[in-house]
Amino acid sequence: MSDLDFPDLSRKLGRIRSRVRKNYFRCDTRFAQSLHEKLLVALNCHLRTCREGARVQRQLRTEANPAVRESLERRLGDCIGDLESGGRGFYPWHLLDAVDPDPDFGGYHHPTAAMWCPGPIPEWMAVGDEHLCGLGPILRRIAAQTGIRFTTYLCDTGIGPDGAGALDPEIYERPIGNFRYR
């Protein structure tokens, strides 16, 4: 049985969700609001997974039937896998474009070009804190407290010192390679 403390993780995520909701109303751009909304979607998904994981762990403590236990253990593994693929493992949870590093080959997969690129992910792809309306420190806190990582990569050079104001909202509302926000 997993030693992941689902109730504790759920409490942490719930507190962070409250902070994101409060911060949402301070956003001064549609771009930042969109990122806050996407983060809330992700946090709600993780909270549902935590509730399901806690429920399955409770059932496993008392279940004696081997076939039922096996099914519950598979479900618990699915919950842990959902959390891992949602940021706790190799792949982070993408709030914008899905740019995935490939540490085995020292590069990354570029979603627009649909190809592997050598070297680190370019700095210009990472949306800076100045465009996130307070979301940057929250994302770092989530990573520190839970291990769940979020990215804000945007494969468009149109975001600059003035933010994403000139970008077509379609660019950040429907990120490249990111099926979660369609």
Q: What is the pLDDT of residues 106-143, one digit of tens each?
A: 888 888 777 888 998 888 888 888 889 999 999 999 99
- Residue 19 has a pLDDT of 97
Please enumerate in sequence order all residues whose Cβ is within 8 A of that of 23, keeping only pairs 6 or more positions apart, or say none: 36, 133, 134, 135, 138
**What pTM was computed for the model?**
0.85
Query: What dihedral angle (degrees, nearest 10) is formed by the CA atoms of 146, 45, 34, 121?
Result: 50
What are the structure tokens assigned to 70, written together?
């096996």
pLDDT for 2 beyond 60: no
pLDDT over 90 for what percent of the chain? 45
Q: What is the mean pLDDT of residues 14-19?
A: 97
- CA-wise closest residue to 53 among 28, 75, 71: 75
Which pLDDT does position 1 carry in this prediction?
44
